[in-house]
Structures are given as C-alpha cells and as structure tokens.
Amino acid sequence: MRQVRRIFITGASSGIGQALALQLAQDGHILGLAARRHQKLEAVAAKVKEAGGKALIYPLDVCDRQAQFTAVQAFVKEVGGLDVAIANAGFGLTKPILETTSEEAHELFDVNVFGLLNTLQASAPYLQGGVFVGVSSVVAYALPTGYGVYSATKSAVSALMTILRRETEGQFEVVLINPGETQTEFWQVAEKRSGELLPGGSPVPFKTAETVAAAIVKAIYKPQPSVFMSLSEKLLPLLRGAFPGVLERHFKQFDREMKQKKTHKLTSLSHPQA
C-alpha cells in the first residue's frame, strides 16, 4: 500500500487535471482541487470520494495570486501539510502570431506562466522533501505553425522549471511534464478563442487525458526531471537543438498538406456534388 500523500492540483475540473485526480484517488490520497468552475469541481470531488480518495475544493482563478496563496494555506491547515503540488492549469490558442491580439497574448501568459508561478510560490514553503510538478507541452520544442504565442508560454514554463530544479536542489523534486496533443477541452477552448482550429488536424498524434495523467502519477512516485509521452516526442529537444532543419522541413511539409486540405474543403463546399 502506498503512503498517503497530500496533493494540490490546479486545473482540476476537467481534462488532465480531472483524470489525474481520479487516478490518485484510487491510491487513497488526499487532494486539494483548484479550478475556476465550482460545480465541475464539486462533481470531480464526488468522483474522487467514490474512487476511495478525499478531496477538498478551492474555486479560484490561478491568475489571482492571493487566491492561490490562501487556498494552499487553507489546504495545508486542513490536512496538516503538503507533499505534492501540480501546476496543471492552462489553455491554448491556435492562431497566427500576426493575428494574435495583445489581450490574447497577455491572457495566455497570465494563465500558463504566471498562473504556474503563483502555484509554485504558494506551495514551495511547504514542499520540503516533496514534489513540484509543472505541465508544459511538446510545442515548447516542436514550435509548430499556428501555435506561436502558446508555444512561447510553454517554452517559458520549460525554462522556469529547468532553472528551478537547480535553484531548489535538496529542497524538493521538480518534475516537468511535456504532453503532446491531448484529447481535452483544450481544442474546444482554442476553437472558441481562435475562430477555427488548424485545418485538417495536428502534426502529432493525440493522447488521452488518462494516458497523460498516468505518466504524471508515475513521475510523482518516482520523480524524474522531464517526462515525455513517447520516444519520438522525447527526441524533439535533441532534434530542435542539433538538427533544426529536419523539424523545419517537417512542418513546412505539414503546412503545405494542411493548405491543400483546406483548399479542397472550400472547393467542395463551393461546388457540392448533386
């Protein structure tokens, strides 16, 4: 039987966060679940209880620094400590850089970067001997067309986590999670904000939220600096650094294929078959 851990998770109302909460609940852990949507948090907490865990909910916006500090302090006071903090909250935008407004860019950085920083700084004082998990993305290394500002936020997360690992050596473990494209609300949110998704799909295969959550659970039990979901994704930083031309050719080819699909789709709509 595993030692019961006290774990605080942001972005816990859906997607990877929800899947993570349910998997951790099966091992009987005590969870602090944070997200903006109160009703969804309550629903996840009920499922956690059914699965054998315990959950306390904290409706908040990760951009609200004081709210995060207050929530973490309340969780620690209630359960007696903090063993793991997981900065999972984030959202995406698939939009050309020149079409991205400053407001959209600010919001992306506020949630994806400063939200994570708020979680980190709120939880760090209680994490001695524990684990801090930050969720980045393979787009930090792949840099695909149409993900410009979103990729920039995840590159920032990867840099923060890498430097944090050196700065906090001997205090707590720092784990960077790098999911590929995942079947979550990311795509509905991105479509709503962007107007349309990348025509034809994504340049990398989709993973389920449960697959990513399982990788995070494994990393909590046996921490490692950086976690990827597949060997091909693990090779992306090496390819980007040592063979940038290979990736550039790949994405240029992908861009051409997507443009052809979009043109074909528009032609079909303009000239439907009888």
Q: What is the 3-state secondary structure (H, E, C) of 131-152?
A: EEEEECCCHHHHCCCCCHHHHH
| Predicted local distance difference test score (pLDDT) of residue 183 | 57
Higher pLDDT, 13 or 201: 13
Q: What is the homologous superfamily of the domain 6-242 according to CATH?
A: NAD(P)-binding Rossmann-like Domain (3.40.50.720)
What is the rounded distance in angstroms from the CA atom of residue 206 to the CA atom of residue 83? 31
In the predicted model, is pLDDT for residue 202 greater than 60? no
Closest CA to 100 of 155, 156, 154, 149: 149
| Predicted local distance difference test score (pLDDT) of residue 271 | 38
| Predicted local distance difference test score (pLDDT) of residue 167 | 98
Which residue out of 58, 126, 147, 150 is catalytically annotated?
150
Closest CA to 181 of 151, 226, 139, 153: 139
Percent residues over pLDDT 70 in the chain = 80
Read off the tokens for 64.
């609200």
What is the rounded distance in angstroms from the CA atom of residue 199 to the CA atom of residue 257? 9
* DSSP string for 161-225: HHHHHHHTTTT-EEEEEE--SEESTHHHHHHHHHSS--TT--SS--EEHHHHHHHHHHHHHS--S
| Predicted local distance difference test score (pLDDT) of residue 262 | 45
Tell me the domain boundaries of the chain: 6-242
What is the rounded distance in angstroms from the CA atom of residue 35 to the CA atom of residue 22? 15
Averaged pLDDT of the chain: 86
| Predicted local distance difference test score (pLDDT) of residue 230 | 75
* 150 a catalytic residue: yes
- Asked if 84 contacts 5 with a C-beta cutoff of 8 angstroms, the reply is yes
In the predicted model, is pLDDT for residue 229 greater than 90? no
| Predicted local distance difference test score (pLDDT) of residue 232 | 73
- pTM attached to this predicted model: 0.83
Distance of CA 101 to the CA centre of its chain: 22
The predicted-structure confidence for 45-82, as pLDDT tens digits, reads as follows: 999 999 999 999 999 999 999 999 999 999 999 999 99
Interval 172-179 mean pLDDT: 97
Tell me phi and psi for residue 108, to 5 degrees. -60, -45
Read off the tokens for 104.
């959209």
| Predicted local distance difference test score (pLDDT) of residue 231 | 78
